[in-house]
Chains A and B, each alone.
Chain A
């Protein structure tokens, strides 16, 4: 299925494909089972439009990948989902970002609560220069979620297990997180995000700073986590998107070119620009 602006070209070039795709996926995309969704979202840095009229769902307990060439607005789009760009002077959005049907950019939204529900993992592993335990416990401590120390310990363990890191670090929880390898640090960051028990997990190129083995581990982990979390991942790596995601959205110059089930996007893309991108002809 395609969104705004691209319909005409597609209809001309792939008339059949277009109707087929539409018939198949339109109901599924009707965002009934969307955990989050964008509704005609524009995002601006000052006067610069970085995301242009994007409408798309993020399905509950599935992985949605966002791909596209550098500077096309992937990070910007991702960061509207937990309002991480709020502190950038001049940044503003138009349109809606819905979480369980509620607009998170509504003036009454509790941003702190939102970020607890929508966790984030960054491109560069960024553990705090604190102990492994304190890293994972950080979110629970600042939120005052857990008063009882034994519960805290329990939930740290649970989060570390969830991030497939427990066996690696269980004997050195009090050691500095900085001593872990890059891949372990990134899994620690995932554990840290999971510890506050979010519903959605945003990942901005979570493996781009890692070696292939660590990357494979993170990918494995994502597939595992999808049982409990709605995941949105930005990636430059199309193989990665193809391997892990259920839906893929292709973004170009701030426009959503298409968003459809991953196998479909990679085998029968609905737009020539998508095809050009995934076959490596630009970007």
Chain B
């Protein structure tokens, strides 16, 4: 009887916890939607900010964010896939290299994002960037300053664990029997990996990429020092340009604007756009994963 009561209580407790979460989420989202919805218009999405950011739109920030995550993906997806392949297909689980790199990746995932920002500044901007300037620009300042490419690289390092975990999971889910079939036909290990295993794990690669993008799009701290700009009259067009970014723009609107009250509606609308984009990406990731699972899993 006592056990029964405890059991019941536990059920109610978990239910309550879920309710609290839902209520929180609803309040936050409801607040943002209610306050931001009215400001969203075609102009808002397609125009530059005006009048000290109290008017106009956020197009440069959307554009900069898109460019940033695109570049980031170009760096992080291939690298993450290679590391995941090493972990899942090649590494000897008992080797030092495996254990060390494994815990490096696990720890990377727990590092506060501001630390990535400082790392990006110290490593990419000041060390790599200056090195590039010395080597190719005769010491002229070109890459040794905050820039799109350094922000993308910093973001790539930040999102690397997301990609690795997702791809690795997908690789491990590929049935061993496919590998055996491939070996039995005279395939080498790398042929097996790239022609059989990886194609079957493509859903993992895609979701990894999308999750990285949605994570990257929501981070501000890592790009504070390595390329995000307060305001720019022109869109970035070169790798070493600075850029505007949605998350950073929100930060700027909240704390740096001369007239905080006047920017408030804009602020809500911008947050809503950012949330919408990340939400959309996550939905795409889920759909992609589910679809590919249906396609390839039909006969398993």
Contact = CB atoms under 8 A, between A and B. Distances in A.
The answer to whether A and B come from one shared complex is yes
Interface of A: 82, 84, 87, 112-113, 115-116, 119-120, 122, 124, 126-130, 138-139, 142-143, 176-180, 185, 189, 192-193, 196
**Ordered nearest first, which 5 A-B pairs have the shortest CB separation?**
A178-B299, A139-B185, A126-B177, A120-B184, A116-B186
B1 interface: no
Interface string B237-266: 000000000000000000000000000000
Query: Does more than half of chain A's interface fall in helix, strand or loop, or is it mixed?
Result: helix
Given A142-B195, A176-B298, A185-B299, A122 B180 contact: yes
Nearest to A118: B184
Nearest to A129: B296
B68 to A, nearest CB: 35
A196 B183 CA distance: 13
A196 B185 CA distance: 7
Contact of B180 (A119, A126, A179): A126
B180 A84 contact: yes
Interface string B170-200: 0000010110111111111001000110011
A178 B191 CA distance: 21
A123 to B, nearest CB: 9
A143 B191 CA distance: 10
Given A128-B182, A138-B195, A142-B187, 17 more contacts: A84-B183, A112-B187, A113-B186, A115-B186, A119-B185, A122-B177, A128-B196, A129-B295, A130-B199, A138-B187, A139-B186, A142-B188, A143-B186, A176-B295, A178-B299, A180-B299, A193-B184
Contacts of A122: 177, 180-181, 184
Query: Does more than half of chain B's interface fall in helix, strand or loop, or is it mixed?
Result: helix
Contacts of A180: 299
Contact of A138 (B185, B188, B295, B299): B185
Question: Size range of the interface on B?
Answer: 20 to 34
A116 B186 CA distance: 5
Nearest to A139: B185
5 contacts: A82-B184, A84-B183, A112-B187, A119-B185, A143-B186
Interface of B: 175, 177-178, 180-188, 191, 195-196, 199-200, 295-296, 298-300
A128 B184 contact: no
A180 B298 CA distance: 11
Given A124-B177, A126-B178, A179 B298 contact: yes
A115 B185 CA distance: 6
A141 B141 CA distance: 50
A143 B188 CA distance: 9
A272 B196 CA distance: 47
Given A126-B178, A128-B196, A119 B299 contact: no
Contact of B181 (A112, A126, A178): A126
A262 to B, nearest CB: 26
Contacts of B300: 178
| Max chain B C-beta neighbours (<10 A), residue from A82, A87, A129 | A129
A29 B200 CA distance: 45
A203 to B, nearest CB: 11
B180 A142 contact: no
Given A122-B177, A128-B196, A142-B195, A84 B299 contact: no
B8 to A, nearest CB: 45
Nearest to A143: B186
A161 B195 CA distance: 25
Contacts of A130: 199
B176 to A, nearest CB: 9
A12 B75 CA distance: 75
B160 to A, nearest CB: 28
B185 A193 contact: yes
B186 A178 contact: no
Nearest to B94: A89
B299 A179 contact: yes
A112 B188 contact: yes
A84 B184 contact: yes
A189 B186 contact: no
Nearest to B299: A178
Contacts of B195: 138, 142
A176 B296 CA distance: 9
Given A124-B177, A126-B175, A129-B200, A115 B183 contact: yes
Contacts of A196: 185-186
Contacts of B185: 115-116, 119, 138-139, 142-143, 192-193, 196
